[in-house]
């Protein structure tokens, strides 16, 4: 159901997006299903560490799940492109939910450690709910680039919101009810949200049983975009570890999560504002400006920690630094949608998420090692280096299909 071009119309508002039939229902379901993305890893760490007394084991289990997701995600998305969202997402979600429930039982009944790895690895089949939602917007707004820009901005803000609320909800449930409450609630929300989302058949992109387009990895311009997503993920992972290490080192462990959430809050606000602006110029040029802003603003938390050694200043600079990440992600996702074959869009979105996850893992590892070998302040160089790498990739990647 493509919309007419926006020529001669005011820039679309968020309210305009949700006047399209079916968009409110699939967005509501998607938001419910997406919230567990910010809950499940935190819940697993709290549950496993509390039961087994080992954060090392908890971290290894969640890292295994991350690696499994990086492998299974594109495969699940490829099936989604070929068979449709509703036919693929429900069984994939069922497997993931069973993995979460198995993890709860293994922890509760003190099963061997290897069972925790096996159970959590099964959650890797969780569908890329954000990617499926963006694919629906791309289908509905194929002829309306301004509205698609606004929709992508909303989706990025929704991502940031879920990753702000998810960890807080997980720790609240695990701390006030019982250790398994976060994982159990996340599994229920995931299944409920997917059922609501997939019930909206009229907005679902048509499946392509025999895709005609090339693999996204072979499309000119997409490998460079994926490399940029990898570097951007490293920014996120390194900043998280370095910030938490800094708050711990300065004796402010209790507010570490709140300080870190300010970056997501800045990104969420910037994403919503960015969606209200009418895009000008080519998306490639906009992406390079966004990458430049991100590289510049990522230096501010480093300067705050190195020169002022003030937690309050660090918090303020994290809020400011976050304002560059959402516009960067929105513009990169828009480019990915434009460059991807229409019948392999879910696969392309999943590859972007895989690149982000791998980048987060690399950034977290690098920042953790740097913190142990040097200091949390030194570790704040890692996000700066990663953001600069993303900028250099963006400058060199000028090929458009």
Query: What does the pLDDT look like over 300-331, one tens digit per residue?
Result: 999 998 888 888 899 899 999 989 988 898 89
pLDDT tens figures, 182-201: 899 999 999 999 999 999 88
Q: 87 or 255: whose pLDDT is higher?
A: 87
In the chain, pLDDT over 70 holds for what percent of residues? Answer: 94
Q: In degrees, to the nearest 5, what angle opens at C-alpha 257 toward C-alphas 252 and 262? A: 110
Mean local confidence (pLDDT), 118-127: 90
Query: Distance between CA atoms of 126 and 387, rounded to whole angstroms?
Result: 29
Between vectors from CA 133 to CA 73 and to CA 290, what angle results, nearest 5°? Answer: 85
Give the model's confidence band at 4: pLDDT under 50 very low, under 70 low, under 90 confident, else very high.
Answer: very low
Region 106-116: mean pLDDT is: 90
Instruction: Work out the average pLDDT over 251-263.
Output: 74
CA distance 306 to 32: 40
- Contact by Cβ (8 Å): 196, 93: no
* Positive/negative CA dihedral, 290, 293, 297, 298: positive
Question: Mean pLDDT across the chain, nearest whole number?
Answer: 84
Lowest mean pLDDT, pick from 28-37, 207-216, 229-238, 277-286: 207-216
Rounded mean pLDDT of 272-285?
Answer: 80
Specify whether the CB–CB gap between 368 and 244 falls below 8 A.
Answer: no
Picking from 76-80, 211-215, 374-378, which range would have the lowest pLDDT averaged per residue?
211-215
Q: What is the pLDDT of residue 32?
A: 93
Out of 3.40.190.10, 1.20.1250.20, 3.30.70.920, 1.10.760.10, the CATH code matching 217-401 is: 1.20.1250.20
**Cβ atoms of 341 and 214 closer than 8 Å:** yes
Neighbour tally for 376: CB within 10 Å: 20
Give the three-class secondary structure for 391: helix
Matching residue, tokens 């070998």: 373
The full DSSP string for 233-280 is HHHHHHHHHHHHHHHHHTT-GGGHHHHHHHHHHHHHHHHHHHHTSPP-
Helix or strand run (H / E) with residue 393: helix 381-396
Question: What's the rounded Cα separation, in Å, for the pair 40 and 187?
Answer: 8
The stretch 44-53 carries a mean pLDDT of 82
Whole-angstrom distance, CA of residue 356 vs CA of residue 157: 16
For residue 242, pLDDT beyond 50:
yes
Distance between CA atoms of 64 and 103, rounded to whole angstroms?
13
Give residue 280's pLDDT. 76
Query: What is the pTM assigned to this prediction?
Result: 0.78
Using 50, 70 and 90 to split pLDDT, how confident is the model at 401? very low
CATH of domain 22-150+158-208: 1.20.1250.20
More reliable by pLDDT, 152 or 195? 195
- How does DSSP classify residue 11? P
The per-residue pLDDT for 211 is: 63
The pLDDT score that the predictor gives to residue 262 is 84
Per-residue pLDDT for 44 more than 80? yes
How far apart CA 362 and CA 306 sit, in angstroms, is: 23
279 versus 324: which is more confidently predicted? 324
Query: What average pLDDT does this structure show over 201-218?
Result: 76
Question: 213: pLDDT confidence band, cut at 50, 70 and 90?
Answer: low
Q: Which pair of structure tokens corresponds to residue 49?
A: 């560490």
**Crossing angle between the packed helical segments 345-373 and 129-140, to the nearest 10 degrees:** 140
Q: Above 90 in pLDDT, residue 270?
A: no
Which range, 68-72, 74-78, 96-100, 363-367, has the best average confidence (pLDDT)? Answer: 96-100
What is the structure's pLDDT at 253?
67
pLDDT of residue 214: 65
Instruction: Quote the Cα angle for 395-337-130, to 5°.
Output: 110
Distances (CA, A) of 391 to 20, 234, 292, 385: 36, 13, 6, 10
The DSSP annotation for 22-62 comes to THHHHHHHHHHHHGGGGTHHHHHHHHHHHHHS-HHHHHHHH
- Tell me the H-state helices in 276-373: 283-297, 299-303, 311-321, 325-339, 345-373
Residue 3 is predicted with a pLDDT of 45
The segment(s) of the chain belonging to CATH 1.20.1250.20 are 22-150+158-208, 217-401
In percent, the amount of the chain with pLDDT more than 90 equals: 25
Evaluate if residue 5 carries a pLDDT over 50: no
Give the mean pLDDT of 289-307: 93
Question: Exposed, middle or buried by CB within 10 Å (0-12, 13-18, 19+), for 135?
Answer: buried
Distance from chain centroid for Cα 298: 19
């Amino acid at each position: 159901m493509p919309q007419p071009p926006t020529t001669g119309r005011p820039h679309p508002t968020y309210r305009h997006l949700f006047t399209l039939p079916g968009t409110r229902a699939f967005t509501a379901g998607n938001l419910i299903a997406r919230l567990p993305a910010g809950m499940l890893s935190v819940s697993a760490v709290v549950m496993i560490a509390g039961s087994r007394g080992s954060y090392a084991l908890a971290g290894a289990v969640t890292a295994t799940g991350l690696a499994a997701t990086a492998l299974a995600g594109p495969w699940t998305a490829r099936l989604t492109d070929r068979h449709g969202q509703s036919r693929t997402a429900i069984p994939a979600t069922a497997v993931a939910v069973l993995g979460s429930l198995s993890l709860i039982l293994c922890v509760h009944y003190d099963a061997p450690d290897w069972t925790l790895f096996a159970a959590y690895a099964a959650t890797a089949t969780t569908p890329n709910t954000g990617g499926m939602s963006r694919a629906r917007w791309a289908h509905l707004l194929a002829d309306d680039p301004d509205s698609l820009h606004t929709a992508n901005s909303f989706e990025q803000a929704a991502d940031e919101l879920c990753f702000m609320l998810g960890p807080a909800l997980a720790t609240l449930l695990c701390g006030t009810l019982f250790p398994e409450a976060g994982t159990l609630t996340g599994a229920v929300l995931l299944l409920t949200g997917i059922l609501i989302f997939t019930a909206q058949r009229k907005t679902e992109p048509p499946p392509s049983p025999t895709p005609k387009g090339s693999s996204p990895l072979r499309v000119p311009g997409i490998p460079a975009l994926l490399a940029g997503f990898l570097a951007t993920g490293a920014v996120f992972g390194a900043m998280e570890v370095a910030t938490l290490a800094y708050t711990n080192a300065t004796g402010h462990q209790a507010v570490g999560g709140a300080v870190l959430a300010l970056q997501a809050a800045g990104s969420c606000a910037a994403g919503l504002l960015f969606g209200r602006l009418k895009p000008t110029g080519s998306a490639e040029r906009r992406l390079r400006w966004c990458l430049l802003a991100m590289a510049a603003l990522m230096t501010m938390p480093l300067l705050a920690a190195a020169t002022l050694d003030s937690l309050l200043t660090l918090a303020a600079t994290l809020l400011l630094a976050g304002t560059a990440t959402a516009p960067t992600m929105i513009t990169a996702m828009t480019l990915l949608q434009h460059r991807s074959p229409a019948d392999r869009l879910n696969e392309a979105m999943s590859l972007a998420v895989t690149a982000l996850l791998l980048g987060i893992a690399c950034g977290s590892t690098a920042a953790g090692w740097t913190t142990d070998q040097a200091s949390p302040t030194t570790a704040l160089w890692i996000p700066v280096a990663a953001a600069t790498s993303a900028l250099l990739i963006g400058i060199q990647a000028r090929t458009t299909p």
